[in-house]
Amino acid sequence: MDVNTASIINGKEEARKVREELKKEIEELKEKYSITPGLSVVLVGDDPASQVYVRNKTRACEEVGIRSFNYTLPATTDTRELLELIDGLNRRDDLHGILVQLPLPDHIDEREILEGISPMKDVDGFHPFNMGRLVTGAPLFRPCTPAGIMRLIDSTGYDLTGRDCVVVGRSNIVGKPMVFMLLERNATVTVCHSRTRGLSDKIGKADVVVVAVGRAGFVKGEWIKKGAMVIDVGINRTEDGRLTGDVEFDEAVKRASYITPVPGGVGPMTIAMLLKNTVESAKRRIGERP
């Protein structure tokens, strides 16, 4: 009988460690430079999921000692009005990070908004400047979810050099930046998406699988190669109200060497890395970082 069961990567614990590290760095910034890192969070409209995310971000800021400034605008706000707010935030010296919660209402031009945020305050790492920096191997701000995934992989001591990695999903927020962070570590990367043929074969050959498609149980546990690492970015709500990932956990856990659970895997890391980017931004301002 096969009794293999994967080590569960504890994202909640790793995120707590990141926050503890940041608390110390923030205290030092306050003592040495009288600087308190500041993050502004902009929410347009009243999407309940976005409201929860924004509340969690604010709470996490408070916990580590980052000053947070929330801006909640009505769903009727237009692109120009939002750009004006961002322009004001770009100019403020007490703000080191600007985050505009996505998705934005359909009538707002998302690209124009993301390009309106100063790249030096773009703690989400979504501005084309920051994306371009990542792609060309000189990242400034790294998008938070894939950056959190890299930290989780590192927490296991796994060496990515020469490993076959499959990223499922090609979003600007997760899939695409993930590819370049894995490349940066000398992995061999394949990107799969909704039009990919032979997905199960490709996944079956992978040493590391990162799945970010937003569909419950999309990747079958039996596709996973024995001993592979499985990173599940999905957060899906089942009919009975539970949270579940994009990978069939119960089957995958029997085959994988390491696996992230949902909840408690990748999820908690995203906000932790947002806080980290904000602190980095404050340090960059005073010349403590290149």
Binding site for ligand GUN (CB under 6 A): 99-102, 124, 144-145, 173, 270
CB of 52 to ligand GUN, least distance (A): 11
DSSP secondary structure of 171-202? -TTTHHHHHHHHHHTT-EEEEE-TT-SSHHHH
Residue number with CB closer to ligand GUN (125 or 221): 125
CB of 260 to ligand GUN, least distance (A): 17
Task: Choose the catalytic residue: 101, 122, 246, 283.
Answer: 101
Residues 290 and 283: their CA atoms lie apart, in Å, by 9
254 has catalytic annotation: no
Contact indicator for 181, 187 with CB cutoff of 8 Å: no
CB of 98 to ligand GUN, least distance (A): 10
Pairing of strands 229-232, 208-211: parallel
Task: Choose the catalytic residue: 122, 124, 232, 246.
Answer: 124
CB of 114 to ligand GUN, least distance (A): 9
Residues 232 and 255: their CA atoms lie apart, in Å, by 15
Pairing of strands 243-244, 208-211: unpaired
Q: Which residue is nearest to ligand GUN (CB)?
A: 102
Task: Choose the catalytic residue: 2, 30, 46, 57.
Answer: 57
Residue number with CB closer to ligand GUN (42 or 153): 42
What stretches of the chain adopt beta strand conformation (E)?
7-8, 38-44, 67-73, 97-100, 164-168, 188-192, 208-211, 229-232, 236-237, 243-244, 258-259
- Helix, strand or coil, per DSSP, at residue 88: helix
101 has catalytic annotation: yes
Q: How far is CA 245 from CA 147, 159, 221, 231, in A?
A: 19, 25, 12, 10
Residues 157 and 162: their CA atoms lie apart, in Å, by 15
57 has catalytic annotation: yes
Residue number with CB closer to ligand GUN (199 or 233): 233
Residue number with CB closer to ligand GUN (77 or 257): 77
Contact indicator for 254, 283 with CB cutoff of 8 Å: no
Residue number with CB closer to ligand GUN (113 or 247): 113
Q: Give the largest CA-CA distance in the chain.
A: 64
Residue number with CB closer to ligand GUN (99 or 253): 99
The two structure tokens encoding residue 188: 């061999």
CB of 101 to ligand GUN, least distance (A): 5
The two structure tokens encoding residue 200: 């199960």
The length of the chain is 290
CB of 259 to ligand GUN, least distance (A): 22
Just list the catalytic residues. Answer: 57, 101, 124
